[in-house]
Amino acid sequence: MSPSNPPLSARLALSVAAAMIGVAGLVMLARAAWLALALRFDPITATAIEGGVLVVVAGFMWLLARPSAPPTPPVESAAEANPWATLAGAFVEGMRAGRGYGASR
């Protein structure tokens, strides 16, 4: 393995560590925001404001995570829907080919 391309286990460990540090940072930011709001307003109002902001952010993230419209199913032709139609069509084409072959002699 080259140093520029670490193995999967090392990349996974670094990704998990980065996610944990990111979550810890978000918790500290939320705590600091609450303390700043609590100094400006009373603690109940600070909690209500921060909770409302978090609900709005979560709603936007939920909307972004929703899958797009499901793909439309392919339209089946008459031959795919009914195998007897395919057989009948092949029979008719064979009859036409046979009549055309005999007429050209």
Question: Per the structure block, which two tokens stand in for 42?
Answer: 């009373």
Tens of pLDDT, residue by residue over 34-93, are 999 999 999 999 999 999 999 999 999 999 888 887 778 777 665 566 778 788 888 888
Distance CA 91, CA 98 (A): 10
Side-chain-side CA neighbours of 83 within 13 Å: the count stands at 0
> How high is the pLDDT of residue 82?
77
- What is the reported pTM? 0.53
Contact in structure between 34 and 47 (CB atoms under 8 Å): yes
> How high is the pLDDT of residue 98?
84
Residue type, 97: A
